Amino acid sequence: MNAKKTPWLDFEKPIVELEERIRTLEDSASLRGLDVSDEVTRLRTRVKTLGKEIFDNLDAWQRVQLARHPRRPTTNDYIERVFDNFVELHGDRQFRDDPAIVGGLAWLGDRRLVVIGHQKGRDTKSNIHRNFGMANPEGYRKALRLMQLAAATGRPIVTFIDTPGAYPGIGAEERGQGEAIARNLREMAGLPVPIIVFVMGEGGSGGALAIGVGDRVYMLENSIYSVISPEGCAAILWRDRAKAQEAAKAMKITAQDALRLGAIDAVLDEPTGGSHRDYAASAATVRARIEADLDLLEAMAPRDLLDARLAKFLAMGIFHEKKSDE
């Protein structure tokens, strides 16, 4: 990607500009042999406090913007940094290969795994190729094929979620978008190998959940997860897509909200400013989590693992119950 062309968000500009000033100062100082270390230290402290000020108080819409940041690491960025080796596999063996979902064989230390994730593009061309990370039924069917391969070979599964939603198109409906998602939900509940899910970007609707039924479900600090995109919700409930900011707020779309609602296991910290500011650090967080979880999950008998997975999802939901007549 051309980094210079990729825009920064308004609220992160002050930090980016300050960092730019530090670089310019250091460059010109070294050219002229001047000592500017005091000034640089002062500016660095300022970057830190400013970063804290801005990023400790993000509102729902700012989180949405970070989750969709054009610089945000995608599934392939994580795969490259989290795993020691990766061989991509293609196709659902029925219709076609869907570039909106990538998956394949991965190595992590002594372990072999299956890794799957939604894949967005970086620019217009690659986004068109990836369909903006919106999968068609064949994408979910490819994912299922790979997950079943994991089950057949006893390898754990790691998935990365980053999609605005399943693609709403004529072909998608003809080929059974609903059926493809539904089948994945049911089958994932029955795969007798550990499944670890990372929502690292946008978790949009059933299209996200279709690779999201796991023993552990995490969200990166600035990712989002909701039943429908803020724009979709705004279009239906407010009859105006421009009300997406209100919809994002109303839907409690952030990782911190998801944790409070009991829908995920934990929120994983991102580097200050978001995971796009430091790919390596974000990948290291994910890798550490996979290793720690697999030590526990691989020790469980398959039946116990499946019972616990079912119990985890059965416990989701908040309602009132009158003391019973049954």
Partner 1 sequence: MSWLTQAKKGIQAITTQKKEIPDNLWSKCPSCGDVLYHRELSRSLWVCSSCEHHLRISTDQYLDLLLDEGSWHETHRGITSVDPLGFKDSKRYEDRIKASLKKTGRDDAVVVGRGEIDHVPVGLAVMDFDFMGGSMGSVVGEKLARMLQDCVKERTAAIILSRSGGARMQESLLSLMQMAKTSAMLNRLREEAVPFVSIITNPTTGGVTASYAQLGDVIMAEPGALIGFAGPRVIQQTINSELPEGFQSSEFLLEHGMLDMIVHRKDLKSRLAEVLHWFVDGRDISERQPFRG
Number of other CB atoms surrounding residue 256 within 10 Å: 14
> Taking the chain, what is the end-to-end CA distance rounded to the nearest angstrom?
61
Encoded one letter per residue, x for contact with partner 1 by CB under 8 A and - for no contact, window 73-112 reads ----------------------------------------
> Which of 223, 225, 244, 286 is in the footprint of partner 1 by CB under 8 A?
225
Nearer to partner 1 by Cβ, of 53 and 179: the residue is: 179
Q: Is 318 helix (H, G, I), strand (E, B) or coil?
A: coil
- Give the one residue of 168, 266, 280, 288 binding partner 1; rule: CB under 8 A: 168
User: Closer CB to partner 1, residue 15 or residue 258?
Assistant: 258
Q: Who contacts 59 (Cβ-Cβ below 8 Å, separation ≥6)?
A: 249
Nearest-angstrom CA–CA distance, 27 and 58: 33
- Indicate whether 61 belongs to the interface with partner 1 (CB under 8 A): no
Q: Give 80 or 240: the residue with its C-beta nearer to partner 1.
A: 240
Regarding 189 and contact with partner 1 (CB under 8 A), the answer is yes
CB of residue 240 vs partner 1: minimum separation in angstroms? 11
Collapsing DSSP states into helix, strand and coil, what is residue 267?
A: strand
The answer to whether residue 295 forms part of the interface with partner 1 (CB under 8 A) is no
Q: Which of 236, 266, 292, 299 binds partner 1 (CB under 8 A)?
A: 236
Enclosing H/E stretch for 148: helix 137-153
User: Which secondary-structure segment (H or E) carries 48?
Assistant: helix 37-55
Sequence letter at residue 314: L
- From its phi and psi, is residue 72 left (phi > 0), alpha (psi between -120 and 50) or beta? beta
Stretch that binds partner 1, among 25-33, 78-86, 98-106, 184-192 (CB under 8 A): 184-192
Q: Give the E-state strand segments of 89-205 in sequence order.
A: 101-108, 111-118, 157-163, 195-204
Residues at the contact surface with partner 1, assessed by CB under 8 A: 166-170, 172-179, 181-183, 185-187, 189-190, 205-206, 209-210, 212-213, 225-228, 232-233, 235-238, 246-247, 250-253, 257-258, 261, 263, 309-310, 313-314, 316-326
